[in-house]
Chains A and B, each alone.
Chain A
Amino acid sequence: MGLKTNAAGVALAFVCAFGTALPALAQNAAPPLGPKAAAVIAPEQTFRIGVVRQIPEPPPWIAPLQMPPDDLGIAGAELGIRDNLTSGRFVKLDYKLSTEVVPTGEDPLPAVEKLVADGNNFILLDVLAKDLVRIADAVKDKDVILINVGATDDVLRQQDCRANVFHIAPSRAMLTDALAQFLVTKRWLNWFLMTGRTDADKLYAEALKRSAKKFGAKIVAEKTWDYGPDARATAQAEVPRGTQVGEYDMLVVADELGEFGDILPYNTWLSRPIAGTQGLMPLSWHPTMENWGASQLQSRFFKQHKRLMQPLDFQMWEGVFSIGSASLKTRSSDPAKVKAQMLAPDYDLPVFKGVAASFRPWDQQLRQPILLTHATNTVTLSPQSGFLHQRTPLDTLGVDQPESVCKLN
């Protein structure tokens, strides 16, 4: 027990002291052979990473279990910086994080411009798609790499793709392809699609339809949710009526805001499972992910932030880690060199999912396995076995090179 306390103290002291001084290892329990790590040497290169997160429009109601933490996403970036520091000190690299949180409805561009003016060459963005395009164009001539960690819009990887933007967040097409592969594997081929009222919901529904077609599932019925923004009190009466559409295998739901998806299970007319934005969800990450060393990342995150790691936390961690991973090879914070490394054929990012992630050169989207998870368990990861691709099975998820209309320049 004594050691445990001691060890934690050392680790904490180390993190706090790093970059400025030798970590203190003054605990009485430790004999004289303390670590004189490379941290004493002044860093030769500093990587300045900025984060701009815009607080999204809140849904009409939030279930108690889904209350977003104040530091959602940012906490992941902070862990990423800590991991980068731990690795980078061996080769005299330093990393700094600056964070800007933009209130709902305000313009995030000034926050980005401020970070750029302060010398941040790498900026993680969690903003709306339309703002992301505007930001990318506004800083086009600056020495800056933008990393989209939040927006899932496929248009950002297609018509609106930009050469100065990398995408960590999986696109909707990647998410729904991951789900479709699993449902097809289970032979749950006939889907009833329920779509919400927002534009985002319509895009998610479009992605589901595209995936169904791609992998041989069928949309046998389709409805738009029109029972108002908060139907919790009347769900038991309304949902059975609204779900009488004949026979189907699976209710797939497009409700990105979270207005109604969670009140569908057990209220449907037929006893059918639910998947999509609720039920069995395709996600980049979930607290129940444990395999392939994931429990180590979960545990590091929990130690630092005293809460569970959510998808946006993971995507921000990946964003910072993707720069850190490249930096160990470039040893230079020149964004052009870092970008070249991130797109190099030997660049692989171990993201605790069994196979390495990497960037697709044609749209700069991170290819990575997608989890299929319900509230308390990660059921599987896609790509499912048997879905083959000449390059990597990961490219069975999302828009592949021949279909891409992205022109990076």
Chain B
Amino acid sequence: MKRHLTLSTGLLALAGVLIVDAAPAFAQARAFVSNERDHTMSVIDMDTLKVIDTIKTGRRPRGIIASPDGKLIYLCASDDNRVEVYDAKTLKLVKTLRSGPDPELFVLHPSGNPLYIANEDDNMVTVVNVENNDLIAEIPVGVEPEGMGISPDGKFMVNTSETTNMAHVVDTATNEIIENILVDSRPRIAEFSADGKQLWVSAEVGGTVAVVDPTDGWKIIKKISFKIPGVNDDAIQPVGVRLTKDGSKAFIALGPANRVAVVDAKTLEVEKYLLVGQRVWQLGFTPDEKFLISTNGNSNDISIIDVASEKVTKSVPVGRLPWGVVVVP
């Protein structure tokens, strides 16, 4: 009896130490970066800009998002055909969810459930209940579904299919496609503005970003194109898109052009290009939108962009082929 008591106390004490130790390190905003080629996720403390942990994940981690409360990190382990859910504080794997084959990108309903997953190999979007892992629907879309966006009110989910060159608009009440928007080649990302009045769709090979008006029959208002002195047009390949919550600016990752474009989201004019690492892929804001992070696949690092001054302030080495990034408070 006495021995048992001692053991329990010992475990409690040990647990206590772990918690005390762990807590301060996680008091600040953290960025999670998926590293596609070494099957890991880097965790970066946004105060010190140091990598504080590298977590082994399923194979070929790509899409990465957080739950609306920032407590959970969802990660697509593409080659393991599953979604992994991590506790953003303890960094432990909490559970895995069904994903359908070859999940690449996904989006959560603004309420935090369900999860819409693009199945790149199977021309489908899989809808999964994140609470009980139930399959809610499988929506056939175009060839190589990739980008996933959801309107702020959760009424519309938009999927881009890379080889079909369309953005498919799905009514989330019925899970049926209500509109197909033909955009330029290899559409990668679909991103709604915070007010839901604009939908931005990047086309990697087409080299453009289409700005769509969801309130007017999903018509394309403008196709933004890019010109960078000294960079061949072929190398300008828009991928990641992020808009500030106030709707004033858009940031667009331009792939092998190694630049992030800053666009006035009102006039839809490109204002400047920020030099970042090689093959810049996805972007993520810190919750306060003071900083924007870019993942730079070929230089194996991330760039930190100061949003107010529109300057790149630092680069931080992470794993091999960093793909996506999400920051939680």
Binding site for B on A (CB under 8 A): 3-4, 6-8, 10-11, 14, 23, 25, 29-31, 33-38, 83, 86-87, 90-91, 293, 296, 299-300, 303, 321, 325, 328-329, 348-350, 354-356, 392-394
Contact = CB atoms under 8 A, between A and B. Distances in A.
A293 B122 contact: no
Interface of B: 81, 98, 100-102, 119-124, 126-127, 134-140, 142-144, 161-166, 168, 174-177, 180, 182, 184-186, 204-206, 232-235, 256
Contact of B138 (A7, A36, A90, A303): A7
B4 to A, nearest CB: 41
A356 B185 contact: yes
Contact of A10 (B134, B138, B144, B205): B138
B182 A328 contact: yes
A30 B137 contact: yes
30 contacts: A3-B98, A3-B100, A4-B100, A7-B100, A7-B124, A7-B126, A7-B138, A10-B122, A10-B138, A30-B138, A31-B136, A31-B137, A33-B127, A33-B136, A35-B138, A35-B139, A35-B176, A86-B164, A87-B161, A90-B142, A90-B164, A90-B166, A293-B186, A299-B102, A328-B164, A348-B205, A349-B185, A355-B234, A392-B234, A394-B234
A36 B139 CA distance: 8
Nearest to B164: A87
Contacts of A90: 142, 164, 166, 168, 177, 180
Given A30-B138, A37-B177, A86-B123, A348 B206 contact: yes
A87 B165 contact: yes
Contacts of A355: 205, 234-235
B174 A33 contact: yes
Contact of B162 (A30, A31, A293, A325): A293
B135 A29 contact: yes
Contact of A7 (B119, B204, B205, B206): B119
A246 B281 CA distance: 49
Contacts of A321: 163
Which applies to chain A's interface (DSSP): helix, strand, loop or mixed?
A: helix
Contacts of B256: 354
Contacts, number: 122
Given A7-B138, A33-B136, A350 B122 contact: no
Contacts of A7: 100-101, 119, 122, 124, 126, 138
B144 A296 contact: yes
A105 B322 CA distance: 53
Nearest to A88: B164
A187 to B, nearest CB: 24
Given A31-B135, A86-B123, 4 more contacts: A7-B126, A33-B137, A90-B168, A350-B186
A356 B119 CA distance: 23
A46 B123 CA distance: 22
Contacts of B140: 10, 14, 23, 35, 37, 86
Contacts of B137: 30-31, 33-35
Contacts of A35: 137-140, 175-177
A356 B134 contact: no
A11 B122 contact: yes
A37 B139 CA distance: 8
A394 B205 CA distance: 14
Nearest to A12: B122
Nearest to A10: B138
Given A25-B138, A348-B205, A87 B100 contact: no
A329 B182 contact: yes
